[in-house]
Amino acid sequence: MADLAQDLARLQTASENPRAQLDYYLKQGKKVIGCFAPYTPEELVHASGMIPFGLWGGHTDLKLTKSYLPAFACSVMQANMELGLKGAYTGLSAVIIPAICDTLRCMTQNWRFGVTSIPMIPIVYPQNRTSPASVDYLISEYETVLTMLSTITGMMMNEKALCETIKIYNEHNRTMREFAVTANEHLDIITPQVRHAVFKSAFFFEKSEHTAILREIIEELKTRPVYDWPGKKVILTGIMCEPDQILDFFTENKIAVVGDDLAHESRQYRIDIPEMGGGGLKRLALQWNARYGCSLIHEIGKPRGAMLIRMCRDYGAAGVVSCMMKFCDPEEYDQPYYEVDLNKAGLPYVTIEIDQQNASYEQIRTRIQTFCEMI
């Protein structure tokens, strides 16, 4: 068994330098497909014999992207466009862009005309998920994606490969959920920064590789005594909580992250792909229809507030930190709904603005410090 520190360091390195991880796969002769966040059907890429690779932006000077995206596009997509235009994604065989928000819809055409060296594959998800027709429609979208992927591999994905991939991804989902629970018993080791690195690194590994590393981490943690955390505990919600400098502020104030509803972290692992219910493509469509509590998915009733309250009670969290991605309309629309629920439950919350291109985060430091004194 590898050393715990070595395993965590490996994931930390991948999360900090995804380009090196991309080059690692390219040197092995593997084809890699860039997956715009969130909800790109990685399973189709994996089952086609290629490596899905998450594209979550990053801090970079925004110059070229200004000719393609307005200033009020979220920083993740602005950074993705900038990095694409600068050639930072050289080596990708294609990118897949899920058109699930206004900015991502714009990205499909901007990428097609701006980054001509890397083909773009779009996918549009149905929002009326209560209709049986939504499953048929989504299957047809998956088939279109597979056809375009087959032009890269030279062959069409088969059902057996997809079923095996579904097993791999479900196992990874379960392992990520287990890690999140186990981490809460070792908050002296799994700091907010370490927890974030484990989740973020998943986007840059072939999933069975990542699962194997996670299993070693979990088993090593279980051999250690449970740590009684003396500080405060919170739940995060939003798209992402980056950069690490923000997470440092939690550590400074002895605040532990014991759960999250972040698109960048736990949100994608809540729902497994059904083991039964038809062929692989149909089961992937059923997984989409079963997703809940996400601002990017149309829902009647807005269950996110109740979900956050339940998470606080289950994990002993004293409050919620809303990581509001600047210019993310879906998240801004959702916030008033779950704030009402949190107020009714008497749970304190604070909003911090996330912008990958910020030069200073001192205002966020002050807000987190003040929130710590409140809870």
Transcribe 238-270 into DSSP letters: ES---SHHHHHHHHHTTEEEEEEEETTTGGGGS
Q: Which of 229, 254, 289 is the last residue of a domain?
A: 229
Of 132, 157, 182, which residue constitutes the final position of a domain? Answer: 157
Provide mean pLDDT across the span 124-137: 91
pLDDT of the residue at 300: 83
Q: CB within 8 A of 259, min separation 6: which ones?
A: 180, 184, 235, 236, 266, 311, 314, 315, 317
User: For residue 26, is it within any domain?
Assistant: no
Mean of all residue pLDDT scores within the chain? 96
d(CA 280, CA 88): 34
Q: What average pLDDT does the segment 283-309 reach?
A: 93
Residue range 254-263: average pLDDT? 98
What is the distance between the alpha carbons of residues 148 and 143, in angstroms, rounded to a whole number? 9
Same domain, yes or no, for 224 and 242? no
When pLDDT is cut at 50, 70 and 90, the band that residue 360 belongs to is confident
Report yes or no on 315 lying in a domain.
yes
Q: Is the pLDDT of residue 30 over 70?
A: yes
The residue that leads in pLDDT, 299 or 110, is: 110
Tell me, yes or no, whether 105 and 45 share the same domain. yes
**pLDDT-derived band of residue 303, with 50, 70 and 90 as boundaries?**
very high
What's the rounded mean pLDDT across residues 256-284? Answer: 96
Residue 68, pLDDT > 70, answer: yes
Domain with 75 in it: 31-157
Q: Taking residues 48-59, what's their average pLDDT?
A: 96
The total of structural domains in the chain comes to 3
Contacts of 98 (CB under 8 A, 6+ apart): 36, 38, 39, 40, 104, 122, 123, 124, 125
Same domain, yes or no: 143 and 212: no
Judgement on whether residues 16 and 53 belong to the same structural domain of the protein:
no
Per-residue pLDDT at 1? 46
Residues 236 and 110 in one domain: no
Structure tokens at 312: 């606080």
pLDDT value of residue 155: 95
Predicted confidence at residue 221, as pLDDT, reads 97
Q: Average pLDDT in the 223-249 region?
A: 96
Are 55 and 82 contacting, i.e. CB atoms less than 8 angstroms apart? no
Tokens of 370: 């003040």
**pLDDT at residue number 2:** 65
Q: Which of 123, 157, 191 marks a domain boundary? A: 157
Q: What is the mean pLDDT of residues 137-146?
A: 98
Closest by Cα among 68, 59, 58, 175 to 112: 68
Residue 160's contacts (CB-CB under 8 Å, 6 or more residues apart) are: none
For tokens 């294609």, the residue is 94
Of the listed ranges 232-241, 292-301, 360-369, the least confidently predicted one is 292-301
Check pLDDT > 90 for residue 237: yes
Residues 145-153: what's their mean pLDDT? 98
Same domain, yes or no, for 261 and 335?
yes
Share of the chain above pLDDT 70, in %: 99
pLDDT band, very low/low/confident/very high, at 325 (cuts 50, 70, 90): very high
Element (H, E) at 106: helix 102-114
Average pLDDT over residues 86-107: 96
Q: Are residues 116 and 65 in the same domain?
A: yes
**Are 222 and 238 found together in one domain?**
no
Residue 253 included in any domain = yes
Assign residue 298 the CATH number of its domain.
Answer: 3.40.50.11900
Residues 244 and 360 occupy one common structural domain: yes
